[in-house]
Amino acid sequence: MKPGTDPRILSLAAEVAKSPEQNVPVILLKLKEIINNTPLGSSELKKIKQDIYCYDLIRYCLLVLSQDCSRIQGGWTTISQLTQILSHCCVGLEPGEDAEEFYNELLPSAAENFLILGRQLQTCFINAAKGEEKDELLHFFHIVTDSLFWLVGGHVQLIQNVLQSDHFLHLLQTDNVQIGSTVMNMVQNILQINSGDLLRIEAKTLHSILDEVIFKLLSTPSPVLRSTATKLLLLMAESHQEILILLRLSACYKGLRSLLNKQKPGIEFRHEFRQLISLLSPKVYQEVEEQKLHQAACLIQAYWKGFQTRKRLKKLPSAVITLQRNFRFKRAKILLKLKRQKEEEYNRLQLQLEQQRAMRLSREVRLNMLEIVHPGQVEKHNREIEEKSALIIQKHWRGYRERKNFHQQKPSLVEYKAAVTLLPQALKFLAKRRTKKKLFAPWQGLRELTDARRVELKQHVDDYVRRHPSSQMSDVASRELHSQAQERLQHYFMGRALEDRAQQHRDALKAQISTNIEQLMKAPSLKEAEGKEPELFLSRSRPVAAKAKQAHLTTLKHIQAPWWKKLGEEAGDEIDVPKDELSIELGTLFIGGTKPP
C-alpha cells in the first residue's frame, strides 16, 4: 500500500482482486463515479489516475475489453462505459518510472482494442434487424469512437498506429452510411489535431485511405457521406502538398478533376466541393510546384547552414583548448600573486616578531645595565638615554619632512628637467631655421663694396687672365669635336635600346617562370589528370627534358633493381645511366613547341 492512496481506489482494487472474473466489469464501472466526482484539471484527479494505474485497474479494463462481449455482464453498455473510463484514465496520466511500458505497450494496445470493438459493433449493426437495436448499437459505436478520439487527442503519437491498423481500414471501407460518416468524421478530427502523421504511414496504407475516400465521394448516393468525404479529402489535400501532387499527377487518380466536374454537389458541401476542384486545377498545381521548389531551396540552405555550423563546431575544441589554456594561465597568475601576498604577509609578521624580540632584548639589556650602574649615576644614565632617543626621533622626523617636501617639489623638478632637455633642441632648431633663411634669402648685392674695392677686384681679375691665357681652337677642330660627341651620343642611345630589349626579355622569362611555377603548384595529381592537362607541362628546352628523362630512368631502374643491389645504397644516391640509352630515349621524346621526329 502506497502512502496517500485514495481509500476508494484501494477498496475498489481489493474488491476486484477478491471478486470472481464475471463480476469484475461491473465493479470497474465504479471508477466512472470516482472520476466524475473529481474536478477536472485538479491535482487530485491526477493523483487518482496515478493510483488507478499503480493498482493495475487500467490493465483490468483492457483485459475486460479484450474478452467476448457475450460473456460480460451488461453487454455493450458495460463495454462502452469501460472504454470511456479507460480513455479518461489514460489522458493526463503521468506514469513515472513505468513510462516506457505505458507509452510503448499499454496505449497502443488500448487503441487497437477500441478499433476491434468498433469492428464488432459494425458487424452487429449490419446484422441487426430491428430499428431500436440498430439505434442502440450506433449509440455504442459513437461512444467507442469518441473514446478513441479522446485517447488519441491526449496522446498524439497514437495517430500513426490508428491510421496503419487493418481494423481501421475495415471500418473505413464499410458501405453503411452512418458507420462510414462516423469513421470519416473521426479521421477528420484526428487530422485536425496533427496532420503530420498522415505522411509517416506506409504509402500502401495512404493509397488505401485515399482510394476509399474518393470512392465514397464519387460512388455513394448519400449526400451526408459525400459531404463528409469531400471535407476529409479537402483537409488532406490542403494539409499536405505531397497528397495534392499525388492526386494531380498520379496515374491512379488520372481524370479525378473531370469526374468531380461531372458531379452535382449538394447545397451542404458545395463550397468545399468547389475548393477541392480549384485545388486540382493546373494553376494551383503550378503554385504548389513553385512552393515546393521554394521549400527545396530552404532545405538546401538549411543543410548548408548546418554544414557550416558543424564545421565551426569542429573548430570549437581548439578554441576551448585556447580558452582553457588562458584560463589556467590566469588562474596560475592569480595563485602566484596570492602566494606572494601570503609570503609577504608571513615575512611582515616575522619581521614584526623579530622587532618585538629585539625590543624585549634591548629592554632586558637596559634593565641589566641599570642593575650594574651605581645608584648615583642612574639619573645621568637616564638623561643620556633620553637625549639619544630625542636625537633619533628628530632624525626620523626631519627625514619624513624632507621626503614630503621632495614629493611636493617633484612635478617642478620634472618640469625643470624637461626644460633643460628641450632648450638645446629648441636652440638647434632655431639655428637651422636661421641658416635656411639665409640660404634662401634673395640677393641684395654687396652693401659694403666700395668703388676702391671694385677697382682692386678688377685688377686681380686682369692679372689672373694675363697669367692664364685661354687656348684657341679652330673651327675644324670644333666641328670634329662636335661630330665625335654626336657619334658617342648615338652609340649611347643604341646601346640603351639593346639594354631595354634585353631587360624586357628578362622580364618575360621571369613572368614565364612564375606562370610555370603557379601551374605546377595548382597541377592535379596523375590520377586526377584528364584530357590534355599533362601536355601543358611539357618543357620547350631540350636540356631540361633530357635531365627529366634521366631522373625518370634513374627512378625506374632503382625501383626495378633486385633487393640485394639496394643494400649498400642510400636514399640520396643516384644511378648512372648510359649515354646510349639516354640518346635513344631522347630521339623519341616529344618536346613542347617542337615538331616530333
pLDDT per position as a tens digit, 226-243: 777 777 777 777 776 666
Does position 346 have pLDDT exceeding 90, yes or no? Answer: yes
Whether 51 is covered by a domain: the verdict is no
Q: Indicate if 339 and 310 belong to the same structural domain.
A: no
Q: Under DSSP, is residue 65 helix (H, G, I), strand (E, B) or coil?
A: helix
The radius of gyration of the chain's CA atoms, rounded to the nearest angstrom, is: 56
Q: Indicate if 361 and 408 belong to the same structural domain.
A: no
Averaging pLDDT over each range in 173-187, 203-217, 236-250, 347-361, which range is the top one? Answer: 347-361
Whether 25 is covered by a domain: the verdict is no
pLDDT of 257 reads 56
Whether 361 is covered by a domain: the verdict is yes
Q: Which residue, 545, 538, 518, 519, is CA-closest to 593?
A: 538
Cα–Cα distances in angstroms (integers) from residue 362 to residues 357, 359, 365, 369, in the given order = 9, 5, 5, 10
Q: Indicate if 354 and 301 belong to the same structural domain.
A: no
Q: Which residue, 169, 250, 248, is CA-closest to 209?
A: 169
pLDDT of 586 reads 43
Of 4-13, 412-421, 491-500, 507-516, the poorest mean pLDDT is in: 4-13
Q: Which residue, 104, 95, 234, is CA-closest to 158?
A: 104
Q: Indicate if 256 and 212 belong to the same structural domain.
A: yes
Q: Indicate if 272 and 305 belong to the same structural domain.
A: no
- Could you tell me the pLDDT band of residue 518, with boundaries at 50, 70 and 90? confident
pLDDT of 448 reads 64
- Evaluate whether 93 touches 61 at the Cβ level (below 8 Å): no
Q: What is the dihedral of CA 270, 281, 241, 145, to 10 degrees?
A: 20
Residue 459 grid coordinates: 685688377
Q: Indicate if 274 and 296 belong to the same structural domain.
A: no
Residue 438 grid coordinates: 639665409
Does position 433 have pLDDT exceeding 80, yes or no? Answer: yes
Q: Indicate if 383 and 355 belong to the same structural domain.
A: no
The arithmetic mean of pLDDT across residues 500-518, rounded, is 86
Does position 33 have pLDDT exceeding 90, yes or no? Answer: no
Give, as one character, the DSSP assignment of residue 471. Answer: P
Query: With left for phi above 0 and alpha for psi between -120 and 50, is residue 220 left, alpha or beta?
Result: beta
Whether 180 is covered by a domain: the verdict is no
- Evaluate whether 140 touches 121 at the Cβ level (below 8 Å): yes
How many structural domains comprise the chain? Answer: 5
The arithmetic mean of pLDDT across residues 258-282, rounded, is 59
Cα–Cα distances in angstroms (integers) from residue 438 to residues 119, 427, 432, 442, in the given order = 122, 17, 10, 9
Q: Which residue, 367, 559, 299, 229, is CA-closest to 551?
A: 559
- Evaluate whether 18 touches 24 at the Cβ level (below 8 Å): no
Q: Under DSSP, is residue 293 helix (H, G, I), strand (E, B) or coil?
A: helix
pLDDT of 593 reads 38
- Could you tell me the pLDDT band of residue 584, with boundaries at 50, 70 and 90? very low
Whether 152 is covered by a domain: the verdict is no
The arithmetic mean of pLDDT across residues 377-394, rounded, is 86
**Comparison of pLDDT for 476 and 67, the residue scoring more:** 476
Does position 333 have pLDDT exceeding 90, yes or no? Answer: yes
**Comparison of pLDDT for 92 and 290, the residue scoring more:** 92
Q: Mind listing the pLDDT tens digit for each residue in 184-217?
A: 888 878 777 777 766 677 777 777 777 777 777 7
290, with CB counted inside 10 A (0-12, 13-18, 19+), is exposed
Q: Indicate if 273 and 231 belong to the same structural domain.
A: yes
Averaging pLDDT over each range in 163-167, 303-307, 464-468, which range is the top one? Answer: 303-307
DSSP string for residues in 152-177: HHH-TTHHHHHHT-HHHHHHHT---H
Name the average pLDDT for the chain: 77
What percent of the chain has pLDDT above 70?
A: 79
Residue that is last in its domain, among 364, 392, 423: 423
Q: Indicate if 214 and 269 belong to the same structural domain.
A: yes
pLDDT of 339 reads 94
Whether 335 is covered by a domain: the verdict is yes
Whether 429 is covered by a domain: the verdict is no
Q: What count of Cα atoms within 13 Å lies in the side-chain half-sphere of residue 482?
A: 7
The arithmetic mean of pLDDT across residues 437-466, rounded, is 77
Q: Indicate if 276 and 294 belong to the same structural domain.
A: no
Residue that is last in its domain, among 386, 406, 423: 423
Q: Indicate if 338 and 286 belong to the same structural domain.
A: no
In this structure, which long-range contacts are made by residues 512-518, counting pairs with CB atoms below 8 Å and at least 24 apart in sequence? none
Q: Indicate if 268 and 212 belong to the same structural domain.
A: yes
- Could you tell me the pLDDT band of residue 544, with boundaries at 50, 70 and 90? confident
pLDDT of 591 reads 38
88, with CB counted inside 10 A (0-12, 13-18, 19+), is buried
In whole angstroms, give the CA distance from residue 356 to residue 364: 12
Does position 281 have pLDDT exceeding 70, yes or no? Answer: no
Q: Please give the model's pTM, rounded to 2 decimal places.
A: 0.45
Does position 583 have pLDDT exceeding 60, yes or no? Answer: no
pLDDT of 597 reads 36
Whether 297 is covered by a domain: the verdict is yes
Q: Which residue, 539, 542, 540, 571, is CA-closest to 555?
A: 571
Range of the domain at 290: 281-314
- Could you tell me the pLDDT band of residue 100, with boundaries at 50, 70 and 90? confident
**Comparison of pLDDT for 564 and 446, the residue scoring more:** 564
In whole angstroms, give the CA distance from residue 249 to residue 237: 13
DSSP string for residues in 378-443: HHHHHHHHHHHHHHHHHHHHHHHHHHHHHHHHHHHHHHHHHHHHHHHHHHHHHHHHHHHHHHTSPP
Helical segments of 91-222, H only: 99-101, 107-127, 131-154, 158-163, 166-172, 177-193, 203-219
In whole angstroms, give the CA distance from residue 544 to residue 179: 93
Q: Which residue, 234, 241, 219, is CA-closest to 269?
A: 234
In this structure, which long-range contacts are made by residues 513-516, counting pairs with CB atoms below 8 Å and at least 24 apart in sequence? none
